[in-house]
Structure 1
Amino acid sequence: MKAIILKGFGGTENFELREHMGLPEIGPEEVLVKIMATAFNPIDYQMRQGRSESKRLHSPVLGREFSGTVVRVGTKVRSFHTGDAVFSASGSMGSNGTYAEYIVVPAAILTIKPVHLSYQQAAAIPVVYLTALQIVDRLGIKSSDRILLTGAAGGVGLALIKLLNANADHHIVATAGNVKSKAVLLEAGLADRQIVDYHQPDLKNLILAENEGEMFDFCIDLVGGEMSELCASLIRVNGSYADVTALGTSKALSDFFDKGATVYHISNYAYALFNHYKWYGDQLGRIAGMLENQEITAPPLLVFDSFTIQSVAEAHQILEENRTNGKKIVMNISTA
């Protein structure tokens, strides 16, 4: 099979195209999938750079979610058959990453692709919606709760807004950094008054003003760093903070403690570390049902048509420079 591998940590010049890698072997509870499309996530370039996320690497092939067709199933697999259209967040659970033509994964993490979705749309869904759904499930947010959402125009932020507003309107104040991001949030269902430009001076008081002077019940932080400190200053006593980045500062953590806040660590790979593979398939099945019922929609896409080093390098650069403008980056792997 053809695959793009990472020769060493550092820049995008470390990617290399391998034309003839061997097909991965399949176990009794596994499935061989021909990948049709893959999507990119910030963890991809963080792994490439050798940051802490690289501890999860077990293959020189990066990429952590895909859509495709089943080629072969293990002897104990009954839920999937050759030719099924599937999608999944494979993370480090696959034989290799998803910048490749084929992957072997546990059958438990797969879900049938909704018929109305393209392979490109399906590839863009798993990571962002699994993260967003975990936030909704674990935090137990009610429609009366006041929510501050940082980095809202990214993939997880948009998925979260769609999930929260699927059945009820919520009191959300979101931060955005430019006109394009604001437009994406408006399209996702937020009103103009709910969106605050984080570049403005006196940001804390501007956000408070948009929240009628009230502190927030929840802060869902998709940025970290200074934004974690902003969250700590705006959360109420005994409020809740969802840390999706692991980039919170020591000051923020100290301030959360002073307020008696509950801190939730949102980690999708936690379940994989303890072989809880069924969690991925079950949750993605819920998401597929919501997509089929049109309660939620697929993210807007930026699609690279060619499976090349150039496509991978450009996708990484766009993510690093925060130029996605609310779109999920997808790369076609195969067309047939």
Structure 2
Amino acid sequence: MNAVILDQDNQLINVNVDLPEVKPNEVKIKIIASAINPIDYQMRENEFERRYLYSPILGREGAGIITDKGSDVSEYAIGDEVFFACGSMGSNGTYAAYIQLPAGLVAPKPKNISFEQAAALPTAGITALQVFDRATINPQDHIFLTGASGGVGLFVLKLLLANGIKNIVATAGSMSSIEKLHQLGLQKDSIINYRKENLTEIIKRRSNQQGIDVAIDAVGQHLSEVAAAVLKPYGTYIDITHFTTTAARDQLFSSAAQIINISNFTHAQRLNYPYFKNGLDRIRHSIEQEIIQPAPIYLIGDLSAETIEKGHLMLKNNQTQGNKLIIQNQ
């Protein structure tokens, strides 16, 4: 099959590879569309993220059609349309024409959206759901959300709004991203360009100098320091990035903050397929019932090293304008 691999020189190259035989508990999926995520380029640059590199074929989520299945698989038929989060649990990543996955990692594609839209949902959606499953967020709480127009941040924002939580201050990095967040229901004065020098003071004023109850950080680095600075004593800091700075950690300790680290890795490491399956089913329900709308997407190109390299650079340079980058694999 056609695939793009990361070679020993950390370069993306086009190759042709063979897949092993389908195992009894697996399905083989023809990937119609897949998404590019920040972790894909971070694994090329960051030692911590590199530990998640299990295959030279990167890519962590997609949507497609089942073309074969193992003898133990009864819940799916050949031809079924599905979407999935593979993490490190499949035959390879999604920068490929096909993937083989345990059937427990797959769910029926939402009926009312395209393959391309479905491919944008699994990783961000499952991560965002973990935020709500593990943190107590009340309607009256003041929320600070960094990276609100990014994949996870946008899904978190949609869930906040769907649950009646309105006291939200969010950051974005461009006028187009700010406009998209406004269209979702945020007031424009609650959407702040993260490049503003007085960002901390602006956020404090939005909470009437009372401090933020819950900071949800989907960016890290400098914004982790801002989030820590605006959090009230005993507030909750939710870390989705593992990119907090030393200064942020010191501030969080000083304010006796509750820190919740959000990661799907522990579930992948333990092969906790029901965790991923449950998340996918919840996402599908939310989309089909129109509780939330699918993420905005940008079709970046076909399956090739050139397309993926372009996508990695766009993510790294914050040039996605709030869109999820999607590869059309077929």
Both proteins in one fold, TM over 0.5: yes
Q: Secondary structure at the match of 2:51?
A: helix
Cα deviation code 1:63-100 (max 9, x no counterpart): 00010111111221122111110001111111101010
1:312 alignment partner in structure 2: 308
Equivalent residue in structure 1 for 2:14, among 12, 17, 21: 17
Whole-Å Cα distance in 2 between the matches of residues 159 and 189 of structure 1?
14
| Letter aligned with residue 221 of structure 2 | G
Q: TM-score, normalised by structure 1?
A: 0.95
Distance 2:157 2:13 in 1: 38
Deviations 1:246-268 (A, max 9, x none): 01112211221221111011002
CA distance in 2, matches of 1:258, 1:49: 31
Q: CA deviation at 1:29?
A: 1.3
CA distance in 1, matches of 2:221, 2:14: 35
Q: CA deviation at 1:194?
A: 0.9
Q: CA deviation at 1:209?
A: 1.2
In the alignment, the residues of structure 1 paired with residue 64 and residue 319 of structure 2 have an alpha-carbon distance, to the nearest angstrom, of 27
1:6 pairs with 2:6? yes
Task: Give the equivalent residue in structure 2 for 1:166.
Answer: 162
- Give 1:9 deviation, angstroms: 5.1
Residue 184, structure 1, aligned to residue 175, structure 2: no
Q: Does 1:85 align with 2:81?
A: yes
Say if 1:226 and 1:25 are closer, same or farther in 2 by CA, change over 3 A. Answer: same
1:96-107 counterparts in 2 under 5 A?
A: 96-107=92-103
Instruction: Give CA deviations for 1:135-192 in whole Å, capped at 9, x if unaligned.
Output: 1121121111110011111111111111111131421001122212211211222111
Q: Which residue of 2 aligns with 1:40?
A: 36
From 119, 127, 130, the counterpart of 1:131? 127
SS of corresponding position for 1:77: coil
Q: Secondary structure at the match of 2:158?
A: helix
1:56 pairs with 2:52: yes
**Residue pair 2:138, 2:165 contacting (<8 A) in 1 also:** no
Cα separation, 2, equivalents of 1:101 and 1:199:
40
Residue pair 1:9, 1:48 contacting (<8 A) in 2 also: no
Q: Secondary structure at the match of 1:72?
A: strand
Aligned to 1:238: 234
93-102 or 71-80, which deviates more: 71-80
Q: Distance in 1 between matches of 2:173 and 2:268?
A: 34
- The answer to whether the 8 Å contact 1:184/1:325 transfers is no
The residue matched to 1:207 in structure 2 has which SS? helix
Equivalent position to 1:321, from 284, 299, 317: 317
SS at match of 1:56: coil
Between 23-32 and 39-48, the greater mean CA deviation after superposition: 23-32
Say whether residues 1:283 and 2:279 are aligned partners: yes
Aligned residues: 330
Question: Helix, strand or coil for the counterpart of 2:55?
Answer: coil
Pairing partner for 2:149 from 148, 153, 176: 153
Which whole-Å CA distance do the structure 2 matches of 1:110 and 1:300 have between them?
A: 22
* Distance (Å, rounded) in 1 between the aligned partners of 2:22 and 2:274: 18
Structure 1 segments, 4+ long, off by >4 Å, are none
Letter in structure 2 aligned against 1:84? D
Which position in structure 2 is the counterpart of 1:70? 66
CA distance in 2, matches of 1:114, 1:152: 24
Question: Quick one: distance in 1 between partners of 2:128 and 2:242?
Answer: 16
Aligned pair 1:140/2:136, yes or no?
yes
What SS does the aligned partner of 2:139 have? coil
Equivalent residue in structure 1 for 2:197, among 193, 196, 201: 201
Superimposed CA distance per residue, residues 107-157 of structure 1 (whole angstroms, 9 cap, x where no aligned partner): 111110011110000000111111111111211211111100111111111
Identity of aligned residues (%): 39
Secondary structure at 2:283 match in 1: helix
CA deviations on 1:206-242 (whole Å, 9 max, x unpaired) are 1111222220110001111121111111111111101
Q: Deviations over 1:265-305 (max 9, x none)?
A: 10022201111111001111011001000001111111034
How far apart in 2 are the matches of 1:144 and 1:24? 53
What TM-score, normalized by structure 2, do the two folds share?
Answer: 0.97
Q: Which amino acid aligns with 1:104?
A: Q
Residue of structure 2 equivalent to 1:266 = 262
For residue 316 of structure 1, give the secondary structure of its aligned residue in structure 2.
helix
